[in-house]
Structure 1
Amino acid sequence: MKLSTQINLGLLVLILMVGAGASFLEIEQTKAQAIQSTETLSKETATRLNAQLSSFNESQWNNKSLLESIVDAAFLNKDVTHISVENDNGSVLIEKRTSNSAQGVSLLASVVELSDSSSQVEIPTTQNVVKVKSSPNSHYVNLWRQLLKICALCVVLYILAAIVVVLTSKRAVRSVGKVTKKLNELQNNDFSPSSIETSTKDFLYLVSAVNNLSLSLENKFKELTRQAEQFKSVASRDTLTKIANRNAFDRHMKALIGGISSPKEYAITLVRLAQLTNINHKLGMLAGDNYVCSVADIIKKASQEQFTGAFVFRISGGDFAILSDVQPKDVHEENLAIMSKGFTTINPLRDGSKAAWIGVARFTNSMSLKEIMESADSALMAATKRPQGWQFASDIAEVHSNAKWRERLNYVVSQQYADILIQPIMNLERNTPSYYETFARFKDKQTNDIIPMSQLIPASERLDLIPEVDKLVTSIVFKKLKVTAHQVGINLSNASIANSEFREWLIKQLSEHESLCHRIVFEVQDAALIHYNEEAVALCKRITQLGCRITVEHFGDNFASLSGLRAIQPAYVKLSGRLTESIHTNKDNQLFVSSLLNIARSLNIKVIAEKVEHEAESVALNNLDIIHQQGYYFSKPALWTVY
């Protein structure tokens, strides 16, 4: 109830009490006056009639019309209600009565009792008696009028008081309205400062608190924005090679193909390092990293000297991309030959194997990203069969590559089997895993080698087979959970979240395995809360209703996902690995992570730091009070064996 309404109700009760008191006093005063005046009136009327009738002779007493005229004259006073003249035998010589029909008299008479009065006088010359009875009719009328005046006065007073209260309260709470508006703006991430003034000291503390909060949040938001912009530039750069990464590649491609400019043709050159896995296994990760950096240097140099309008990206572990203007085919082949020779020269294995495969495709800004990557990947797959190690998409049938990938993926799904690896997410306070994140590894039908996820996932996305792969992995995890006590995390891809058939299948499976739900944590990417917000929020809410928990991955990469966190209330958020890398030496990342930590805590969400590979990183994160950590420092992913 509004404050003004409450005050007005209080005033109404007070005015009603005052009106009731005034009415009571008026009634008591009228009662006292009525008693005295009615007695006086009856006596005076009887005495006056006696004086008039005392001089009557016998003939006049017999003149009834004369008597009536005299009696009628006595009724000029309306309070006289009854007059009679009786002889000595008690016989009535003449009698007159009148009734009171004044407004309000009968109503008041039923509520307030005023006394009647009667008098009688004996006529001296005869034995006749004059009897007069009077009633407080005029007093009832006056009382009725006074009560109406009191009611009218109360109504007027209430209306005036209500108007004053409403105007005063509006003026007084105007600052509260401004405070409420400002709080709503803060909730909608509008941290622009505004100085709110108050017209009453009662709300001064509230206004002051909101002004201080607004100023404080604005300063924090500016700092967070500055850090976000700084991190954005860092997040767009590959930490090993210092060239642009997959995020930057995606944004660059969207800029090229998302505009409305006139048609223009570009070229994409994909480079895949054929021997990176062997180098890592035989010579170690450090040798592999050095090799990748050397390859990056060759590609950067080639893009500067041999390609026009070129941009270089590292889009996955052993995959690079060059986006450039179109060149004549012979010139492009010459440039590819130079790059291939450089790759072979720096190959530390020096076993004569091909160092890299290269696929080239032309595209226009009217094509979709899916079509472009299909064409380039087709060329890349065909290049593995070519002695020179490169292939132009224009020289092959694109469907060949997609058909091959579909065959490989259909085989994987049909086998209904995958190796499941698990990596613990440690709770450092208890020194025990909070849960284990699961990873699936699939083997190729022909070679029996592990299919690199950096190749399998993009191919699955192109062919719309990601939901089938996620179904397979989820089903396998369910089977293993039935015979173990582990708490595990299952990754859900954006494509699966967007797929209605998959969402229905998942909910059905969880309903059938409800006893396992409390041990399952579904990990969703924060990008899903942006691109598929409605589907992701609905699915996450249904999952949590069944007893599962949610972890949002890559927290910090996309600020637009913050609004989604409030909607789904996940149990965990997992910081982007770019933020945890070398955090012990990066003050900006420490401050940025601290800001994200405050955001998560305000929503009662636990924070996980991933890709923790060194003790110094773990200690720095622990100092920031991030006790849930995951990475090679604790354990590498290991095969999940249950028997």
Structure 2
Amino acid sequence: MKLSTQINLGLFFIILLAGVGAGSIEVYQTKTHVERSANALAEKTVSQIAGQLSALLSRQSPQQRSEIDENQLSEDSLVSSILTTALTNDKLSTISIENTDGIELVKKESASESSSKSILSNVIELSVAQTQAVIGSTSTVIKVTSSPKTHYHFLWQQLLKIAVFCVAVYLLSVIAVMVIANFATRPLSKVAKKLNEIQNNDFTPSSIKSATADFRYLVSAANNLSLALESKFQELTRQAEQFKSVASRDTLTKIANRNAFDRHMKALIGGISGPKEHSLTLVRLAQLTTINHKLGMLAGDNYVCGVADVLKKAGQDNFNGAFVFRISGGDFAIISEVQPNDVHEENLALISKSFTTINPLRDGNKAAWIGVARFTNSMSMKEIMESADSALMAATKRPQGWQFASDIAQVHSNSQWRQRLEYVVSQQYADILIQPVMNLERNTPSYYETFARFKDKQTNDVIPMSQLIPASERLDLIPQVDKLVTSIVFKKLKVTSHQVAINISNASIANTEFREWLIQQLSEHEALCHRIIFEIQDAALIHYNEEAISFCKRVTQLGCRITVEHFGDNFASLSGLRAIQPAYVKLSGRLTESIHTNKDNQLFVSSLLNIARSLNIKVIAEKVENEAESVALNNLDIIHQQGYYFSKPALWTVY
């Protein structure tokens, strides 16, 4: 019930009691007045009439006066006139004359008294006075009875005035309470609105003023809260801006990473100036996996750093306007101005020779494959990457190890990839690997993340996901791949009790047919939903915001949970968290790597942790490689961790 309504009810009962009290006092005073005035009036009237009749009788003989009878009095017009005149006073009821035997000789009654009756007379009884006197020297008696009719009328008017007054006071009080309550509680409405805005991550400072001292402390608390949160949010924004440079740099090689590559490419192809040609050189390390397996991860990291140094030097010395990027584990890119093919080939030969020199295996095999594609700002990102990837695939069959896209039939490479992917989908099989996401408080897995591995038809080797995913996206086949993986996971869940996470690509989230298919599958496997977590990239909340939010809401309604991975790579994803309310966010591996020595990362991770906790979201640190990183993350109160330190992905066997 509203405060104003409660106050008005209280006022109603108070005014009602006041009205009843005032009415009771008025009734009491009227009764007292009637009792006193009626006696006085009756006595006065009796005295006057008796005097008039005595005077009338005095003109008769003694014998006549003593023999007054009923007929004489009733026939005497003067007597009748005297009595009638007396009854014109509406405060008198009856006047009668009686003999010594009590027999009425004459009786006059007020006409209005017999024709009307007060409503209040049924509820309130007022006193009626009766007085008598002897007429002159006769034995005849005159009696006068007062009438309360006038007093009833007066009392009714007074009670009605009290009632009208009470109603008027109540209505005015209601209006006053509503106005005052609205004025007084208006700051509370603003406080509630501000708290809702804070809940929706709008930390704009407020300057709400309290109209009353009673609410001043609450208004002040809301103002201080919004001011403190705005200050904190600005600090986080400042830290995010500072971290952009860090997030755009590969932590191992210290050169620009995939995020920087994507932004740079979008800037080039999104320009409004006339067409200008650029060159994209993709470099893929052919033996990185072998080096990691044979010589260890440290040797592989050293090799990757050596390759980055070679490419940086080549970009400075041999390419015009060059920018070097590491876009994935063993893939690098150089964006530069266009060179003649012969000059470009000379530079590629120098690069290949340098790679051979730093290759720790030194087994004579080709160290890297290189594909080169030219592009203008009229081309799309998909077209450019497709062209460069086709050249890279063709380079694997050339002795020198590089290929220009302009010298090959691009369709040939796409046809090969389509055949490989269609074969993978047609087999309806994949090896599913799982890796635990550990809860360090309980020392048990919170859930297992699943990974799919597909084998090539010809070589029976595992197709690297860094190649398969881009090719699948380019050929619009990735929803088919995600369908296959999801179906296999569903089958395994029926015979196990694991809680598992399924990675859903951005292309599948953007695909309406895939989303509807997945919802139908979940509806058919509703008993499994509480054990399923879907991992989506935070980039999906930027590039496919509406589709991602709709997807997340529908699967969570069915009982599934959501994990947003790569949290911290894309700063615009912070606003999307509020809309989907995921169960977990998974920090980008760039933030967790060497976090025990990186103070900037510790500060930024702490800020992201505060944001996630304010939304009741649990935080997972991925790619935890050693004890030092795990301890540092644990000190930051991140108890959900995943990485090689706990377990490598292992084949999921259910039989």
In the superposition, the TM-score normalised over structure 2's length comes to 0.87
- Contact 2:30 / 2:151 at 8 angstroms: preserved in 1? yes
> Cα distance 1:89–1:183, how it changes in 2: closer, same or farther (>3 A)?
closer
> Cα distance 1:137–1:261, how it changes in 2: closer, same or farther (>3 A)?
farther
- Contact 1:85 / 1:94 at 8 angstroms: preserved in 2? no
Tell me which residue corresponds to 1:366. 378
- Contact 1:249 / 1:313 at 8 angstroms: preserved in 2? yes
Tell me which residue corresponds to 1:581. 593
> Cα distance 1:83–1:448, how it changes in 2: closer, same or farther (>3 A)?
same
1:507 aligns with 2:538: no
Tell me which residue corresponds to 2:368. 356
1:73 aligns with 2:85: yes
**2: distance between equivalents of 1:82 and 1:531?**
103
**2: distance between equivalents of 1:75 and 1:403?**
127
Alignment of 1:260-339 (within 5 A): 260-339=272-351
- CA drift at 1:493: 1.7
Encode CA deviations 1:136-186: one digit per residue, 9 max, x unaligned: 233223323333443344345445655665565556545545544543443
- Contact 2:269 / 2:377 at 8 angstroms: preserved in 1? yes
- CA drift at 1:563: 4.4
> Cα distance 1:512–1:29, how it changes in 2: closer, same or farther (>3 A)?
same
Gaps of 5+ in 1: none
User: Of 111, 132, 137, which residue of structure 2 is paired with 1:97?
Assistant: 111
**Which deviates more from structure 2 when the two are superposed, residues 157-166 or residues 319-328?**
157-166
1:600 aligns with 2:615: no
- CA drift at 1:245: 1.0
**Which deviates more from structure 2 when the two are superposed, residues 542-551 or residues 226-235?**
542-551
- CA drift at 1:49: 3.2
Tell me which residue corresponds to 2:64. none
Encode CA deviations 1:505-528: one digit per residue, 9 max, x unaligned: 223323333333333322222233
Tell me which residue corresponds to 1:432. 444
**1: distance between equivalents of 2:188 and 2:338?**
63
User: Of 561, 565, 568, which residue of structure 2 is paired with 1:549?
Assistant: 561
**Which deviates more from structure 2 when the two are superposed, residues 158-167 or residues 501-510?**
158-167
**2: distance between equivalents of 1:363 and 1:73?**
126
> Cα distance 1:549–1:63, how it changes in 2: closer, same or farther (>3 A)?
same
Tell me which residue corresponds to 1:634. 646
- CA drift at 1:346: 3.4
> Cα distance 1:83–1:559, how it changes in 2: closer, same or farther (>3 A)?
farther
- CA drift at 1:544: 3.6
Tell me which residue corresponds to 1:523. 535
User: Of 409, 422, 431, which residue of structure 1 is paired with 2:421?
Assistant: 409
- Contact 1:120 / 1:130 at 8 angstroms: preserved in 2? yes
1:244 aligns with 2:271: no
> Cα distance 1:562–1:38, how it changes in 2: closer, same or farther (>3 A)?
farther
Tell me which residue corresponds to 1:488. 500
- CA drift at 1:122: 5.8
1:34 aligns with 2:37: no
Encode CA deviations 1:287-345: one digit per residue, 9 max, x unaligned: 32222222222222232333333322211112222223344444444443443343344
**Which deviates more from structure 2 when the two are superposed, residues 580-589 or residues 255-264?**
255-264
Tell me which residue corresponds to 1:21. 21
Encode CA deviations 1:395-431: one digit per residue, 9 max, x unaligned: 4443333232222111111101111111122222333
- CA drift at 1:208: 4.3
User: Of 475, 478, 503, which residue of structure 1 is paired with 2:487?
Assistant: 475
SS state at 1:438 partner? strand
Give the root-mean-square deviation of aligned CA atoms. Answer: 3.3
> Cα distance 1:131–1:392, how it changes in 2: closer, same or farther (>3 A)?
farther
**2: distance between equivalents of 1:166 and 1:487?**
56
> Cα distance 1:188–1:504, how it changes in 2: closer, same or farther (>3 A)?
closer
- Contact 1:71 / 1:96 at 8 angstroms: preserved in 2? no
**Which deviates more from structure 2 when the two are superposed, residues 550-559 or residues 77-86?**
77-86
- CA drift at 1:611: 0.5
> Cα distance 1:315–1:31, how it changes in 2: closer, same or farther (>3 A)?
same
**2: distance between equivalents of 1:19 and 1:95?**
37
> Cα distance 1:11–1:62, how it changes in 2: closer, same or farther (>3 A)?
closer
**2: distance between equivalents of 1:367 and 1:553?**
30
Gaps of 5+ in 2: 61-67
**2: distance between equivalents of 1:198 and 1:95?**
72
**Which deviates more from structure 2 when the two are superposed, residues 356-365 or residues 170-179?**
170-179
Counterpart of 1:362 in structure 2: which amino acid? R
Tell me which residue corresponds to 1:422. 434
Counterpart of 1:347 in structure 2: which amino acid? N
**2: distance between equivalents of 1:113 and 1:393?**
117
**2: distance between equivalents of 1:78 and 1:364?**
114
Counterpart of 2:34 in structure 1: which amino acid? A
1:572 aligns with 2:600: no
SS state at 2:498 partner? coil
Tell me which residue corresponds to 2:154. 142
- CA drift at 1:270: 1.9
**Which deviates more from structure 2 when the two are superposed, residues 470-479 or residues 336-345?**
336-345
1:52 aligns with 2:52: yes
Counterpart of 2:155 in structure 1: which amino acid? L
Alignment of 1:59-208 (within 5 A): 61=73, 69-83=81-95, 90=104, 95-99=109-113, 106-119=118-131, 123=135, 130=142, 132-155=144-167, 157-158=169-170, 161=173, 165=177, 169=181, 172-173=184-185, 175-193=187-205, 198=210, 200-208=212-220
Tell me which residue corresponds to 2:394. 382
Counterpart of 1:502 in structure 2: which amino acid? F
**1: distance between equivalents of 2:540 and 2:114?**
87
Counterpart of 1:427 in structure 2: which amino acid? N
> Cα distance 1:176–1:523, how it changes in 2: closer, same or farther (>3 A)?
same
**1: distance between equivalents of 2:485 and 2:76?**
124
**1: distance between equivalents of 2:354 and 2:516?**
51
**Larger-gyration structure (1/2):** 2
- Contact 1:194 / 1:214 at 8 angstroms: preserved in 2? yes
- Contact 2:113 / 2:149 at 8 angstroms: preserved in 1? no
**2: distance between equivalents of 1:188 and 1:432?**
34
- Contact 1:344 / 1:355 at 8 angstroms: preserved in 2? yes
**1: distance between equivalents of 2:93 and 2:412?**
122
> Cα distance 1:93–1:481, how it changes in 2: closer, same or farther (>3 A)?
closer
> Cα distance 1:211–1:219, how it changes in 2: closer, same or farther (>3 A)?
same
Counterpart of 2:508 in structure 1: which amino acid? S
- Contact 2:91 / 2:146 at 8 angstroms: preserved in 1? yes
Encode CA deviations 1:216-242: one digit per residue, 9 max, x unaligned: 334432332232222221111111111
Encode CA deviations 1:483-523: one digit per residue, 9 max, x unaligned: 33333222122222232322232233233333333333222
Counterpart of 2:13 in structure 1: which amino acid? V
In the superposition, the TM-score normalised over structure 1's length comes to 0.89
**1: distance between equivalents of 2:642 and 2:282?**
32
- Contact 1:359 / 1:391 at 8 angstroms: preserved in 2? yes
**2: distance between equivalents of 1:133 and 1:241?**
122
- Contact 1:100 / 1:137 at 8 angstroms: preserved in 2? no
SS state at 1:98 partner? helix
- Contact 1:67 / 1:94 at 8 angstroms: preserved in 2? no
**1: distance between equivalents of 2:336 and 2:124?**
105
Counterpart of 1:592 in structure 2: which amino acid? F
**1: distance between equivalents of 2:122 and 2:277?**
102
> Cα distance 1:98–1:618, how it changes in 2: closer, same or farther (>3 A)?
same
SS state at 1:409 partner? helix
1:11 aligns with 2:11: yes
SS state at 2:334 partner? strand
